[in-house]
Chains A and B, each alone.
Chain A
Amino acid sequence: MPGSRPVLDVRDVTKVYGEGDTLVRALDGVTLRVDRADYVAIMGSSGSGKSTLMNILGCLDVPSTGAYLIDGVDVGSLSDSQLALVRNRLIGFVFQAFNLIPRTSAVANVELPLAYSGIRSAERRRRAMFALDLVGLADRAGHQPNQLSGGQQQRVAVARALVTEPALLLADEPTGNLDSHATEEVLAVFEDLNAAGRTIVLITHEDEVGARADRLITLFDGRIVS
């Protein structure tokens, strides 16, 4: 029943860090619905709560108050192992800081989510190489993260997020470290995935990247302003 139920349903979520005088409201009552096959860009200045929202959407963090539903399931009610399953099967996450595993080759990094979903070694290698090829790094498969440039590391991270073909792709500044050519390639990959019915939410501060999305959300001081 596509369209009948939102993929992401964020209901009046707040996230508070610290307490007393040092209390910071990173998110202050955010309500957001993202339907299947949407392509959403979140923009906002530094400190507006973009990354906090993204971490909650990616099930990496939990909201202080409010509810968050993926495919109609309240994430707050899931057990630890169910959450692991959600992260592995439903979500592909691209971090701003790449977060590749050090001293481990690019292809092994890309294979990791597949390994956790129990896919056999040969199939894993094939799909990882395909994903690396997609981001133009097939010839760097054996390199370790510290042998790759920032842009290349980011593309490995994108390949790792894509490799499980998740229904929901969350990307925190995925093109932040890429040149215009690589940016174009990654965005083309995103558009292909979107056309194939996958939901994409990304954070960006580049207007031209935001303009490619179907929908633009602007955050300011932890609230959605448009």
Chain B
Amino acid sequence: MSPWEILRFALRGIGANKLRSSLTMLGILIGVAAVILLVAVGNGSAKAISDRIEALGTNTLTVMSTSRGSGGLTMAVAGALDDPVLAPDVASVSPVVSTSATLTYDGSDHEVSAFVGTTPDWFTASNFGVGSGSAFTADDEAQARRVTVIGQTVAEELFPGIDPVGVQVTIGGALFTVVGVLEEKSSSGFQDANDTAVAPISAVRQVIAGYGALSSILVEARGSGMVDTAQSEITTILDRKLPAGSSGTAAYRIQNASQLLETQTETADTFTTLLGAVAAISLLVGGIGITNIMLVTVTERTREIGIRKALGAPRRVILTQFLIEATLLSVIGGGLGVAAAVLGSRFEIVGVRPVIVPSSVVLALGVSILIGLFFGGLPAARAARLRPIDALRYE
């Protein structure tokens, strides 16, 4: 009997039992799709986290004061950090005051959580591009001009349908002219990074924040490879300017964006591993489902195998037919599972955009097909070895 002929027999065998065949394929489909999607969601969330951190700028250091109130970071400290001799790897230093403020325009108002006063270097250091209009200049800062650059969220809330550039808004009782709108930036979880307004630090201190301590100092290193040397350089300067308190606690701390990225990536990796474990369990459960239905299918057909043997079918032909049936069911079911997963990954799942990991596709498909083949083939081989009369009498 030619292989082609056996293939036709196998197709007829699948077609003769449409319900059972489709249930088998459904079982395999769900197993494969679940594994691929779970891993894709894990991978997607990991990717989202690293994207957000990269958006913050990976070659920046943020200096923050640990003591509350006055005496912490001052403009003098910020100025000292911008020292080409002691800190050659520092590209720019931006002092930052940040306060919440209410923006009012044409009767409607909007509260921003971060009204940032800083210098023009801040835009490049914090990786914030200006979409329309322009950033304020060093001259604006020196003259304490009341100009501001607003975030996307503010622009949408306060100026629906209008170009905000050139418009005057009231911030904390003073009129500010909007000179630009920030580019949209992906935000990290709780805080909307686009819900912000940026103005010259001199103007912000004059109008709202006063002349107290700075909120933080944003230091930009010359490159992502120089972040750690820049950190040790500014540490030396800061230790001199801000000696540790009597209790021995440092007066400041430095947040390193690339360290943050590393930690977050590790967290995300753990998350992926966890999801992988869940996926492995679902693969196992799916595999047991496939095993079950394959065993039942072949056992149910032991009588048929007996009839075929009585009519003179060689063992090899029977075995080949059942193996082809099992292969087709597993491959079609697995293929549909991959298709379902690819389709599913186009949608956001629990707020995460899944990113498919190719190796998970290979693994899920491979394991399902192997299980299908093994547990479809093994009982068929056993039944084909029986004497025809024993197979015929099988109940």
Residues of A within 8 A of B (CB): 55, 58-62, 80-81, 84-89, 91, 93, 95, 99-104, 108, 112-113, 115-118, 160
Contact = CB atoms under 8 A, between A and B. Distances in A.
Given A103-B16, A108-B12, A115-B9, A81 B311 contact: no
B314 A81 contact: yes
Given A60-B392, A81-B316, A113 B311 contact: yes
A220 to B, nearest CB: 22
A1 B189 CA distance: 95
Interface of B is mostly: helix
A85 B315 contact: no
B389 A116 contact: no
A87 B388 CA distance: 10
B312 A99 contact: no
Contact of B317 (A58, A60, A104, A116): A116
Contact of A112 (B17, B308, B316, B387): B308
B1 A115 contact: yes
B387 A116 contact: no
A87 B16 CA distance: 25
B146 interface: no
Given A81-B316, A87-B388, A113-B312, 14 more contacts: A62-B387, A87-B309, A88-B313, A91-B312, A95-B392, A99-B303, A99-B307, A99-B310, A101-B304, A102-B16, A112-B308, A115-B9, A116-B1, A116-B317
A76 to B, nearest CB: 13
B5 interface: yes
Contacts of A108: 12
A174 to B, nearest CB: 15
A109 to B, nearest CB: 9
Given A87-B312, A113-B312, A99 B17 contact: no
Contacts of A101: 304, 307-308
A87 B306 CA distance: 12
A58 B310 contact: yes
B315 A80 contact: yes
Contacts of B304: 101-102
B308 A60 contact: no
